[in-house]
Amino acid sequence: MTKVTGPRWVNFHCHLDLYPDHASIIRQCDQAYIATLAVTTTPKAWPRNREMTALSRLVRVALGLHPQLVAERSAEVALFERYLPEARYIGEIGLDAGPRFYRSLQEQEQVLDRMLRASAEQGRKVASLHSVRSVAKVLAALEATRFIDTSKAVLHWFTGTQAETRRAVEMGCYSSINAEMLRTERNRKLVASLPLDRLLTETDGPFVETPRGTVLPRDVQGTAVRLAEVFGFTTEDMRSGLISNLRELLN
């Protein structure tokens, strides 16, 4: 029997520290051979997350300041900059122009600009970006800060227009796909228009519910199955392609 030495699945956006048993969920990722990006919602969560994953083979932690928290935690951008030299991965950051958070959009833009500029100056970062009703603004920020000149961007739960999709592809952005994104015909068509070599999978757990309850990291396997159906591939070919995309992203 061939021994598995590397990851078999990709979960490039998951809030592991928001599950009831943080340590157990990290072990599950390792046991199921899932390369997982554990995003944080506030810089204050970075030290503990880094400590918790120190011995993990496949879980990596991202330093983030969620746009939905900017109105109450914008001062933590200084803490973000303090921890930034320790972080290869950035997330969750971005913009949210949805009804609940639109009032803080201008402040969100200022914070995002500052975080992207600081990250671009250091270079070799990989960011997972939130872009609810704000894809054009997020792409503009990536260009204005020259982040994409030195680092790489992954658009988490991407649901842009056709024009925004083309622009994101031209800029070299990746997209991480979750099961919710494949539920509607519109979103399946959008996903089908993305380059195969720029796709990753994610769960965004624990913020997604399944018929069995809260989504778990291992549920990303089902997303890969459905993604294979969208492109007319076998699950194994899609799984292999996703691992290849991850390696290229991190190269």
Per-residue model confidence as pLDDT tens for the chain (251 residues):
345 569 999 999 999 999 999 999 999 999 999 999 999 999 999 999 999 999 999 999 999 999 999 999 999 999 999 999 999 999 999 999 999 999 999 999 999 999 999 999 999 999 999 999 999 999 999 999 999 999 999 999 998 899 999 999 999 999 999 999 999 998 999 999 999 999 999 999 999 988 888 999 999 999 999 999 999 999 999 999 999 999 999 99
Q: In three state form, how does the secondary structure of 101-121 look?
A: CHHHHHHHHHHHHHHHHHHHH
Gap between the Cα atoms of 116 and 162, Å rounded: 25
Q: Which CATH class is domain 9-250?
A: alpha beta
Torsion of CA 174, 78, 203, 155, to 10 degrees: -20
Gap between the Cα atoms of 22 and 38, Å rounded: 11
Nearest to 76 by CA among 88, 91, 64, 62: 64
Burial 26-64 (b: 16+ CB within 10 A, else e): bebbbebebbbbbbbbbbebbeebbebbeebebbbbbbb
Nearest to 36 by CA among 236, 223, 220, 226: 220
Global model pTM greater than 0.85: yes
The number of angstroms, rounded, from the C-alpha of 110 to the middle of its chain's C-alpha atoms is: 21
Strand-pair partners of 200 = 176
Note if the bond before 43 is cis, omega within 30 degrees.
no
Gap between the Cα atoms of 143 and 175, Å rounded: 17
**Max CA distance (Å), the chain:** 57
Contact status, residue 242 vs residue 10, Cβ threshold 8 Å: yes
